[in-house]
């Protein structure tokens, strides 16, 4: 395992950081938030034109055909700049499973995404612990009828397709297996749900939604596409969280260096130094787990021996994103004093993003339960 980025990955990081530093700076973010738009289309298209949205897309649709490490690089920079774009929804929740398991016709849906001309998303969450699938898919002729409810689906109304995991019911070899279905937003009932950020979230109700045979990702409900979607959903979320805490730490570090109290910079006080050190430790702990998971998933697309403990590492990363990193974000607010709570100061965006990612991942207790179950299976 090597945590050092190679030359291509470093150039990718520099490209993403430079573009987002220009296109998603403080003034641009403030102006966007006044529009009420679901996402910043200018930044989204700029990412596409720079080739950053195509890093994990197949070459046949204009992408670079790269893997989990490169996607992690891009998502970390988006988190570090809290850029209001549907990158997590389109790439981690949709593009990764589509590229890995989709038919040629299904993968063609990725071409507009490569240019920043489209949005895709996936319905990862339901009521209950993360990773549970209660939605059903009943065979009906050459297609399926979907029933169930998905929650907190990002950009559902804006997406060209929603990837919906559902458990196949009825007689047959696929009974009880989980398939992933491509569903158009117009086929489902969307209800807005609360969001900690400007990102739109929706409750997606599937009430007898009929889809044709070509809607089943890869043409098979064997659990493989769901496994990829589930892992990618978690890996993408912790990558964003890793960028978020890095951005918050950088902002806080600069603040305590320049803010003076009793004619001394805050950074000169031992108590402040110890607290900023705790934030750094929380960030590094998450970083280690994030890169370990990305390496495992990149080795063989998450299905071979190199990724055998990917779920354990992802659970560790998720716990760190939900608990230590959230405590670190509170510390960043504390070190800023009252300005840390001011919505005219950029720190609030990092805190809101951290909160939302923690909710998406299910919270620290769920992650500890998941990790315990995985370890028990090995005993």
Contact 129, 369 (CB under 8 A): yes
- Which residue has tokens 């998933």? 297
CB pairs under 8 A, 24+ apart, for 298-301? 298/67, 298/68, 298/69, 301/67, 301/100, 301/228
Residues 248 and 207: their CA atoms lie apart, in Å, by 42
Residues 130 and 360: their CA atoms lie apart, in Å, by 8
Please name the residues in contact with 150: beta carbons below 8 A apart, sequence gap of 6 or more: 123, 124, 125, 126, 135, 164, 203, 204, 206
277-310 burial: b if 16+ Cβ within 10 Å, else e: eebeebbebbbbbbbbbbbbbbbebbbeebbebb
- Which residue has tokens 């809101």? 352
Q: How far apart are the first and last CA of the chain?
A: 25
Q: Could you read off the pLDDT tens digit of each residue along the chain, which spans 379 residues?
A: 667 899 999 999 999 999 999 999 999 999 999 999 999 999 999 999 999 999 999 999 999 999 999 999 999 999 999 999 999 999 999 999 999 999 999 999 999 999 999 999 999 999 887 778 999 999 999 999 999 999 999 999 999 999 999 999 986 667 789 999 999 999 999 999 999 999 999 999 999 999 999 999 999 999 999 999 999 999 999 999 999 999 999 999 999 998 878 878 888 899 999 999 999 999 999 999 999 999 999 886 545 555 558 999 999 999 999 999 999 999 999 999 888 888 889 999 999 999 999 999 999 999 999 889 888 887 6
In order, the DSSP letters of 293-304 are: HHHHHHHHTTSS
pLDDT of res. 265: 86
Contact 294, 9 (CB under 8 A): no
- Computed on alpha carbons and rounded to an integer, the radius of gyration of the chain in Å comes to 21
Contact 237, 286 (CB under 8 A): no
Among the listed residues 19, 93, 10, 4, the one whose alpha carbon sits nearest the alpha carbon of residue 51: 19
Residues in the chain: 379
Q: Residue 1: in which H helix or E strand, if any?
A: none
Residues 162 and 188: their CA atoms lie apart, in Å, by 10
Residues 84 and 102: their CA atoms lie apart, in Å, by 28
């Amino acid at each position: 395992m090597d945590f050092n980025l190679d030359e291509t990955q470093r150039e990718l990081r520099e490209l993403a950081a430079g573009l987002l530093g220009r296109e998603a700076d403080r003034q641009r973010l403030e102006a966007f938030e006044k529009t009420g738009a679901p996402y910043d289309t200018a930044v989204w298209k700029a990412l596409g034109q720079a080739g950053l949205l195509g890093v994990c897309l197949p070459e046949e649709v204009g992408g670079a055909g790269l893997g989990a490490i490169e996607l992690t690089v891009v998502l970390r920079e988006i988190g570090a700049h809290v850029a209001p774009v549907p990158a997590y929804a389109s790439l981690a929740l949709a593009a990764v499973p589509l590229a890995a398991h989709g038919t040629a016709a299904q993968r063609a849906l990725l071409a507009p995404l490569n240019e920043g001309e489209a949005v895709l998303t996936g319905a990862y969450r339901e009521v209950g612990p993360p990773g549970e699938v209660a939605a059903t898919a009943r065979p009906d002729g050459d297609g399926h009828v979907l029933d169930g409810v998905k929650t907190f689906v990002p950009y559902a109304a804006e997406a060209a397709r929603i990837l919906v995991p559902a458990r196949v019911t009825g007689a047959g070899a696929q009974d009880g297996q989980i398939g992933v279905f491509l569903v158009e937003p117009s086929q489902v009932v969307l209800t807005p749900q609360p969001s900690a950020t400007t990102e739109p979230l929706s409750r997606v109700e599937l009430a007898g939604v009929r889809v044709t045979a070509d809607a089943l990702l890869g043409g098979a409900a064997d659990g493989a596409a769901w496994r990829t979607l589930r892992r990618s959903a978690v890996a993408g979320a912790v990558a964003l969280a890793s960028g978020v805490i890095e951005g918050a730490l950088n902002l806080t570090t600069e603040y305590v260096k320049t803010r003076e109290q009793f004619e001394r910079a805050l950074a000169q006080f031992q108590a402040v130094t110890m607290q900023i050190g705790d934030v750094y430790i929380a960030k590094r702990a998450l970083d280690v787990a994030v890169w370990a998971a990305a390496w495992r998933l990149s080795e063989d697309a998450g299905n071979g021996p190199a990724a055998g403990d990917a779920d354990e590492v992802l659970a560790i990363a998720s716990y760190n994103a939900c608990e230590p990193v959230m405590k670190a974000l509170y510390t960043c607010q504390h070190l800023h004093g009252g300005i840390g709570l001011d919505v005219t100061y950029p720190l609030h965006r990092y805190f809101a993003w951290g909160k939302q990612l923690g909710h998406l991942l299910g919270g620290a207790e769920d992650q500890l339960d998941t990790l315990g179950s995985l370890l028990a299976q090995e005993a």
